[in-house]
Amino acid sequence: MLKNFLIFSFFLLFLPGIVFGKTTTSKNTSPAVQIDLFSHTVTFGAKTITYDSAKDLQAVRLERQHKYYLAVLRFQKNILRLDVYNQNGKKIDTEKIAKAPGGQDFSSRQLSVVTVNDHQLLKISSIKTNEKQQPIQYLVKKYRINPDKKRIIKYKSAFQKDIVYPNLSSLTDADAMLKLLNYYRQASGLLPLKRYADLDSGCQQHAQYMASNNILEHYEEEGRPGYSDEGNTAGGSSNVARLYKDASMVSALQKWLNGTYHRLLLMYGGLYGTGFAVSGPSSTNYYYSCLNILTKTDIYTAGQETNVTYADLANTNPVLTPGVNEVNVPTTLTAGEWPDPLAKFGGHYPAGYPITVIFGSLHYFSEVNLRLFKLNGEQVFAYFQKPGDQTDPNILYQNNAYSLIPAAPLATHNTYRVRLDAKRDSQPYTFDWYFTTQ
């Protein structure tokens, strides 16, 4: 029985890799914060701080005893560093967080505020890559900021975990789904997602609405069984699916990731939280799944709010899926995703597992080409799709992502090489990476 999917209309507005900078509308007269990666500057009130050649800049405005401070995370010369400024724009402390030597990198970085035992701490999360640009570790460090102490930045704790394919055997379906999703994100160089109970609740209501009405939709119709405002909102912000006699969120996730358009939303660097649920069986033995992928995507580049992260994702590393040296990669793309990613090519199912690349917007990429090879050098015939192709009936869904879909399923337990050729800011850019199938 065909497992059916429906892509949501919000996709038309959601551009992976393009920053949705929002300026808060607070009437607060305290110092405002603004991040500008193009000029490598952070503005705090009347003070503009320049970080020459910084690859990433993020900031959080803090308040201590009615005074304002600015914490800045900068990735500069392969070093992650935390700086603290007073409200006059004077640097009052600095701390080296981590270093990426010898061609290593931090593919994703995030500065945020968390509360632990009633104390506000700065949390710095990152994905570390090796010299081959393979994501290898998820790193977290926490610091307390004490402006009245001699040492203002005080280290509190650290956590690190190797990025490896997870053992799901002892986990519930929900825990397994989240762990698997976060593995795929980390393998592509992205930070893991946090699960939110309120998003679970909205998805649960929408999933049950779909089951009650035997219909796969993103939006609910008032007056139908199971309608709720919360469920309607959740549906419009989520991937949805229906599976015949299969109540597994893991199964739904694999289908979303195996497609091209649904995958792009799950691999957005600005996504930091999710919620999900699956319905009980419908009268026709379908189970309906819902996974929120839009609610927790706000990115602020400027504003006056306290404890809010101000960032700019323009200079993100290319998001490669499958990732560098990723293992247990599925072999097959089956029919069921709508819109049909093979519509332009007249391809047939089953096809091969898609390869996708999403670029950040700080650099201009042109003349992009993707090719797939077996280890013996033989090129694998595949359909290459790029943004802005006027002959593509799904042009609005492709957005700024590039995809390569092998015309036939990949071989099991085989290693493949992907070749990326392009021009970045008019200069030649090439990258080769490998992945291994299940």
pLDDT of res. 13: 31
∠ CA 407-289-250, nearest 5°, is: 60
Residue 131's pLDDT band (boundaries 50, 70, 90)? very high
The Cα–Cα gap between 203 and 287 comes to 13
Residues of the chain with pLDDT > 90, as a percent, come to 84
Q: Which helix (H) or strand (E) holds 303?
A: strand 299-303
What domains sit in the chain, N to C, each tagged with a CATH number?
A: 33-144 (no CATH), 173-292 (3.40.33.10), 319-437 (2.60.40.1220)
Mean pLDDT to the nearest integer, 262-271: 93
pLDDT at 6 over 80: no
pLDDT of res. 102: 87
Residue with token string 């306290």: 306
Structure tokens at 274: 């999710």
Residues of the chain with pLDDT > 70, as a percent, come to 93
Residue with token string 């497609």: 259
Residue with token string 């930091």: 272
Nearest CA to 71 among 40, 53, 54, 95? Answer: 95
At residue 314, the 3 state secondary structure works out as: helix
Give the pTM: 0.92
Q: Give the Cβ contact number of residue 74 at 10 Å.
A: 24
Structure tokens at 380: 């694998």
pLDDT at 322 over 60: yes
Angle at which helices 173-187 and 249-258 cross, to 10°:
30
Structure tokens at 96: 């080296």
pLDDT at 390 over 80: yes
Is-contact 396 12, C-beta < 8 A?
Answer: yes
∠ CA 141-142-148, nearest 5°, is: 140
Least confident of 115-124, 158-167, 413-422: 115-124
Q: State whether the Cα torsion 411-415-421-422 is positive or negative.
A: positive
Residue 245's pLDDT band (boundaries 50, 70, 90)? very high
Amino acid letter at 102?
A: G
Cis status, amide bond into 428, omega within 30 of 0 = no
Q: Which helix (H) or strand (E) holds 183?
A: helix 173-187
The Cα–Cα gap between 238 and 275 comes to 9
Mean pLDDT to the nearest integer, 40-47: 96
Mean pLDDT to the nearest integer, 92-96: 98
The Cα–Cα gap between 261 and 259 comes to 6
Residue 400's pLDDT band (boundaries 50, 70, 90)? confident
Least confident of 126-130, 291-295, 315-319: 315-319
pLDDT at 23 over 90: no
Q: What is the rounded average pLDDT for all residues in the chain?
A: 91
pLDDT at 298 over 90: no
Is-contact 71 122, C-beta < 8 A?
Answer: yes
> Would you give the DSSP letter of residue 259?
S
Tell me the chain's radius of gyration from C-alpha atoms.
22
The Cα–Cα gap between 327 and 235 comes to 32
Residue 204's pLDDT band (boundaries 50, 70, 90)? very high
Q: What is the pLDDT of residues 219-233, one digit of tens each?
A: 999 999 999 999 999
pLDDT of res. 29: 63
Structure tokens at 284: 């026709």
> Would you give the DSSP letter of residue 224?
S
Least confident of 16-20, 169-173, 350-354: 16-20
The Cα–Cα gap between 191 and 148 comes to 33
pLDDT of res. 59: 98
pLDDT at 392 over 90: no
How big, in percent rounded to 5, are the helix, strand and coil portions of the chain?
15, 40, 45
Residue 28's pLDDT band (boundaries 50, 70, 90)? low
